[in-house]
Amino acid sequence: MDAQRTPGRLVLAGTPIGNAGDATTRLVDLLTTADVVAAEDTRRLRRLASTLGIAPQGKVLSYHEHNEVERTPELVDLVRSGATVALVTDAGMPSVSDPGYRLVRACVDAELPVTVVPGPSAVLTALAVSGLPSDRFAFEGFAPRKPGERSRTFAALAADERTLVFFESPHRTATTLAAMADAFGPDRSAAVCRELTKTYEEVVRGPLGELAAWAAAEEVRGEVCLVVAGSSGAPSRQPGELVEEVLALVSSGYRLKDAVRVTADRGGVPSRTLYDEVVARRRG
């Protein structure tokens, strides 16, 4: 690093997830004073700024999943040269299922200052309003689109005792809830959180089976978060009761040993015993 040049800083700035009134004073100050504002969508940034009654005074650059590889070195160089670079995404915190991680990692590796202007988070908002335990939770992002991958992902999470938070698109919500009901059980408590902080905010709570039926009958719209209760650590089941679950996972693409391991963990039975039961069933 040039000893004669004081580096600037990268500032990760949280933006409103729906209601522009949730913008913080620090966000307003940053957008009007930063040398560079790197935005996931520059048009949405300018609409937000207009709503807030401000205008970015620095240079506005696009920074999204299609150009972040090429643009990251440019932004790192700007920080290195002394610029304050503000990074914003369409909604919420940068790098949480949005561009940002690559730039943060590059600045950290270059030993450049990185700080945060905290703001709204769809993950935490959904968790708080869901009514489900919030002392331990995990954010799982978007569920896989392909049925086989989705089934394997949910099967691996079925025994997790933490509350789980997912993002989902409205047109896949019903399918995802149905897959969750299959993997976690139709009685597992959950919440569908839609359009959080917006005019048509809606939170529907209930067992996964009922939520899957509701979503299939309704036209789900808007931004969706799914919050699912963790496993309650139910009593162990008999190995013979789990054979069909193993065979279903094998049909969805699992290797037999992996299907046995996942199901045994979920059912609280020894893997070896369950494996023997499955082999015996297949031979019989």
pLDDT digits (tens, 9 = 90+) for 62-112: 999 999 999 999 999 999 999 999 999 999 999 887 889 999 999 999 999
Handedness of CA 128, 132, 136, 138 (dihedral sign): negative
| Domain boundary assignment for the chain | 9-120, 123-228, 239-283
**In Å, how far are 10, 177, 212, 223, 277 from 173, measured between CA atoms?**
36, 6, 8, 10, 35
The mean pLDDT of the chain is 92
The pLDDT assigned to 235 comes to 54
The pLDDT assigned to 123 comes to 96
Phi, psi (deg, nearest 5) at residue 153: -65, -50
Put residue 188 in one of left, alpha, beta given phi > 0 → left and psi -120 to 50 → alpha: beta
- Between 68-72, 127-131, 233-237, the lowest mean confidence (pLDDT) is in 233-237
Angle, vertex CA 214, rays to CA 153 and CA 194, nearest 5? 75
Residues 6+ apart with CB under 8 A from 53: none
- Between 9-23, 24-38, 86-100, 108-122, the lowest mean confidence (pLDDT) is in 86-100
3-state helix, strand, coil in the chain (%, to 5): 45, 20, 35
Q: Which CATH superfamily groups domain 9-120?
A: Tetrapyrrole methylase, N-terminal domain (3.40.1010.10)
- Between 7-16, 135-144, 267-276, the lowest mean confidence (pLDDT) is in 267-276
Q: Confirm whether pTM is higher than 0.85.
A: no
Is residue 267's pLDDT more than 80? no
Q: Which overall architecture, per CATH, does domain 123-228 show? A: 2-Layer Sandwich (3.30)
The pLDDT assigned to 234 comes to 58
The pLDDT assigned to 1 comes to 47
